[in-house]
Chain A
Amino acid sequence: ETGVTQTPRHLVMGMTNKKSLKCEQHLGHNAMYWYKQSAKKPLELMFVYNFKEQTENNSVPSRFSPECPNSSHLFLHLHTLQPEDSALYLCASSQVPGGGADTQYFGPGTRLTVL
């Protein structure tokens, strides 16, 4: 059981489609994260938002566009993706980024397949 939800859980899209991933956290946290998880590879941090402001963009291609309208919601807008973008996209939240035992809590992820 987790306080972070993600929709959809599965998504199949063509390279010319536009879709969005949604994440919502019910933990009262102030920081939210997008990660990409590919098979047998470490989690790749994509974006970090702290109090709705983007504080990290780890050289992510512009075909991924994040949006954080408030501290509880995070979106990842997708357009003209490539097959190598197929992966599990995980959302996480934490009280604040960095410092002490600031633990990140994860959603179940969206399994994305790009055809």
Chain B
Amino acid sequence: GQNIDQPTEMTATEGAIVQINCTYQTSGFNGLFWYQQHAGEAPTFLSYNVLDCFEEKGRFSSFLSLSKVYSYLLLKELQMKDSASYLCAVRDSNYQLIWGAGTKLIIKP
């Protein structure tokens, strides 16, 4: 079966750095997405990667290793507003999105 694994919950301190990991087992691979979802709100797009890379967008960076079937989202200089769930999703060979259950990130002062 197809599966996306990410930690259920993580806690970090304001101003620190946190890395949220995602490993996947899918039928084929056509890209990996990260979304942010604040409680009670819509998931919002953060990044898309299809090749091995480390991509920085401001305080957020995404990494992908196709050989290790692994990705991570790196958040720097954490702010309280970064408290949210972070969803990892992989597009399989049929171009279907396979979703992880999300990682709830709690930021403490």
Binary interface profile of B, 1-45, with partner A (CB < 8 Å = 1, else 0)?
000100010000000000000000000001101010000111111
A61 within 8 A of B: no
**Considering only CB atoms, which chain A residue lies closest to B50 in the complex?**
A101
A75 within 8 A of B: no
Interface size class of B (residues with CB under 8 A): 20 to 34
Tally inter-chain residue pairs, CB-CB below 8 A.
48
Q: How many Å lie between the Cα of A74 and that of B50 in the bound state?
A: 30
State how many angstroms separate the Cβ of A87 from the closest Cβ of chain B: 13
- The count of residues in chain A whose C-beta lies closer than 8 Å to any C-beta of chain B is 21
Segment from A36-44, A65-73, A77-85 that makes contact with B: A36-44
Q: Which residues of A contact B91 (CB under 8 A)?
A: 98
**Considering only CB atoms, which chain B residue lies closest to A58 in the complex?**
B96
A2 within 8 A of B: yes
Segment from B53-61, B68-76, B97-105 that makes contact with A: B97-105
Q: Which residues of A contact B102 (CB under 8 A)?
A: 40, 42
Within 8 A of B (CB), among A26-61: 40-43, 45
Q: How many Å lie between the Cα of A66 and that of B2 in the bound state?
A: 26
Q: Which residues of A contact B30 (CB under 8 A)?
A: 98
Q: How many Å lie between the Cα of A99 and that of B99 in the bound state?
A: 17
**Considering only CB atoms, which chain A residue lies closest to B45 in the complex?**
A103
Q: How many Å lie between the Cα of A97 and that of B87 in the bound state?
A: 19
Known: A40-B8, A42-B4. A106 touches B43 (CB 8 A): yes
Q: Which of B33, B98, B102 has the most CB of A within 10 A?
A: B102
State how many angstroms separate the Cβ of B25 from the closest Cβ of chain A: 13
Contacts A2-B44, A40-B102, A109-B42 aside, 5 further interface pairs with beta carbons under 8 A come to A43-B97, A90-B42, A107-B42, A108-B42, A111-B40
